[in-house]
Amino acid sequence: MLSHRRRVLFFFVTISTLLVADQLTKLWAVRALTHVQASHPGTALEHYSVLHPVPARPLFFAGRWGYFEYAENPGAAWNILSGAHESFRYPFFFVVGIVAMTLMTIYYFRAKPEERLRRVALACIIGGALGNFADRMRLRYVIDFVVVDLGSFYRWPTFNFADAAVSIGVVLLVAESFKKADQPAARA
């Protein structure tokens, strides 16, 4: 019973922490990377709920290779479905988001006690998905702001904290699958 309580506690603490961190970093992005403060005086929460603020200049942290720049993504990863009409896109992301997070939550709680890495990975994915889901439902787009630009070689699509959490979760799931593949098969 204690193990189940720990799983539940870990699940809710992890996804809550990731959700709060994601939303706080997006609040920072709106305040630091747009002109919303000048045009909409008020509280920080009011700044965050302004639709389509005007982007300001980017903030560089690694020369031209890494910087923060405000962007709005109405689609999924790599702007998939960004050109689809909102009457399709909004219900699609709502249904797919609810179904995916529900299935991952079920998968999390069905994981065996020794599958800790799987539970960590799923909690990261769900926490990140929840952060972007909150944006989609409230704003109808996701706020992205981290840019990795390798010049003519490659420019990674602009992303956010939630995207990073999902990516880390996916990497952990892949690592966990390799870990299982390396284990000898159990004898019957």
163 in active site: yes
22, 135, 144, 149: the active-site residue = 144
Our answer to whether residue 144 is catalytic in this structure is: yes
The tokens 């019957």 sit on which residue? 188
Q: Which residue has the tokens 């909102």?
A: 86
List, as one string, the DSSP characters of 82-135. Answer: TTS-HHHHHHHHHHHHHHHHHHHHHHHHHS-TT-HHHHHHHHHHHHHHHHHHHH
Please identify which of the residues 22, 135, 149, 163 carries the catalytic annotation. Answer: 163
Q: Which of 52, 74, 49, 65 is nearest to 150 (CA)?
A: 65
Asked if 117 and 109 count as a contact pair (C-beta separation under 8 A), the reply is no
Catalytic positions, written as ranges: 144, 163
